[in-house]
Amino acid sequence: MNERYYDIIVSPVITEKATMASEANQVIFKVASDATKPQVKEA
């Protein structure tokens, strides 16, 4: 994994809503505020 990916994806979100989404095979992450959608998709 590239070093810059660690700068884009900050941390996973652990909430009740995120847990319910994980049951539908979805993952929710906190991302850097200056990250663009293509950067998040690549990371």
List Cα–Cα distances, 7 to 14, 32, 33, 42, in angstroms: 19, 7, 10, 13
* pLDDT (tens digit per residue) in 1-43: 676 888 999 999 999 999 999 999 999 999 999 999 999 999 8
Confidence at residue 43, expressed as pLDDT on a 0 to 100 scale: 85
What the chain holds in terms of domains, given with CATH numbers, is 3-42 (3.30.70.330)
Residue with tokens 């009740």: 16
DSSP state for residue 12 in the 8-state scheme: E
Please report, in angstroms and rounded to a whole number, the separation of the first and last CA atoms in the chain: 9
Full-prediction pTM beyond 0.85? no
Confidence at residue 1, expressed as pLDDT on a 0 to 100 scale: 60
